[in-house]
Structure 1
Amino acid sequence: MRYAWWRIAVFTCAASVPCYWLALAWQFALGPDPGKVLVDNLGQGALVLLLLTLGMTPLQRVTGWGGWLAVRRQLGLWTFSYALLHLTSYLYFLLGGEFSRLGEELQERPYILVGMLGFLGLTALSLTSNRWSMRRLGKRWKALHRLIYLIIIVALLHMLWVVRSDVGRWFLYAAIATALLALRIPVVAIALGKLQRGKKKIRNKPEING
């Protein structure tokens, strides 16, 4: 219960945004093609949450505060939820509910195939994001969850293929992802750990009254 308020805040924020987008789409307030806007927004929402999930460990290493890790799993599950909503919206709004067309779309549009690969990776991570799976898989659990690094690259490729002419926002996401992946390099991660320990020593150093 130590970080219960943080978990509640993350849940409330992550759960409310898709409802808002859906309400706007329902009222046709998102332009001439609200379905496509909703699909795009949900996809970008999943990407933002994925980046936030990746950022939790570096933040914990720098600050030493355990709250970042307390919501990491929740953020990861919300990433999958947004990706699932993204896929569902695509099937409903853009394919008109004709699921039989999905196979043809995968063949004709490579970016959809790339997106599906990322979704399958997120599915594997979400299904094993529990203590039972950690005990069952042992050391293989960490190896499996390193798929998140590949998933972020696949997600960025998928988005780049979709936006094409408007890549300004994509470059921002790509720059953030590059920085977060760089922080996972062992040398950099060790340096972050030393930085946090150094700050802790300074805080705990007794004052000398002269």
Structure 2
Amino acid sequence: MSESIAATNRLGLPALRWQSILKPVVFVLALTPFVYLVQSLLTGGLGPNPIDALTDTTGTLAIRMLLISLCVTPLRGLLKKTWPLKLRRMLGLFAFFYVFLHVSIYLVLDQQLDVAAIWEDLAERPYILAGTMALLILIPLAGTSTRGMVKRLGKRWVSLHRGVYVAGAAAVVHYVWLAKGDLIEPFVYLAILIVLLGYRFVKLLR
């Protein structure tokens, strides 16, 4: 019996150690682009138009983080492991962070909170509405991501947080709509979203 316990420990402890450092590693990886942006801003590394560079970069980070967070459930199903679920909340909050940062840069730095200019921009570039919709959907999701809110809302929490798929779709529509020139990257994001939605649809049918 002692031999079997020792064997279990030999197999289990490395996995436990690996999983214990997974969240900190992913946290650092998700935060690194923001740190790099701040450093580039302070050192003049964003080029002649830093506001445009900030807007574009945070927008790309936002959509990537959204899609990565949506990959958690399929990854768990494919691997038959629970460890991806430990990352879902953190990845979702990082997605919200970058979406919020993206919209804030546009409103505060680009438009300087000029309501008239914002309305005029919306009329000329309606794809901004799709990006705004993604943020508005993510706000209640971020606000109810705590364990206490999960218990309080019960089954309603699951229904509410399915809205992340709508937010992801809105973000991809926003990105594809505004894209000019090279459309490969936007359509890669669109293809990933379609696969994720297809996986979710098939799962609901079962």
TM-score by length of 2: 0.82
Instruction: Name the counterpart of 1:193.
Output: none
Shift of 1:3: 3.5
1:14 matched to 2:13: no
Report the 3-state secondary structure (helix = DSSP H, G, I; strand = E; otherwise coil) of the residue aligned with 1:124.
Answer: helix
Question: Which blocks of at least 5 consecutive residues in structure 2 are unaligned?
Answer: 1-16
Q: Distance in 2 between matches of 1:143 and 1:150?
A: 12
Matches within 5 A, 1:82-93: 82-93=98-109
Q: 1:187 to 1:139 in 2, by over 3 A?
A: closer
CA RMSD of the aligned region, Å?
A: 2.3
Shift of 1:109: 3.0
- Mapped contact 1:49–1:78 kept (Cα < 8 A): yes
Q: Distance in 1 between matches of 2:88 and 2:141?
A: 13
Instruction: Name the counterpart of 2:153.
Output: 137
Q: Distance in 2 between matches of 1:175 and 1:127?
A: 29
Amino acid corresponding to residue 74 of structure 1 in structure 2: M
- Mapped contact 1:183–1:189 kept (Cα < 8 A): no
TM-score by length of 1: 0.81
Q: Distance in 2 between matches of 1:100 and 1:127?
A: 30
Q: Distance in 2 between matches of 1:178 and 1:146?
A: 15
Q: Distance in 2 between matches of 1:3 and 1:88?
A: 34
Matches within 5 A, 1:35-184: 35-96=51-112, 98=114, 101-184=117-200
Amino acid corresponding to residue 134 of structure 1 in structure 2: V
Higher relative contact order structure (alpha carbons within 8 Å, sequence separation ≥ 6) = 1
Q: Distance in 1 between matches of 2:196 and 2:51?
A: 32
Q: Distance in 2 between matches of 1:183 and 1:147?
A: 16
Q: Distance in 1 between matches of 2:109 and 2:203?
A: 46
Question: Which blocks of at least 5 consecutive residues in structure 1 are unaligned?
Answer: 191-210
Shift of 1:99: 6.2
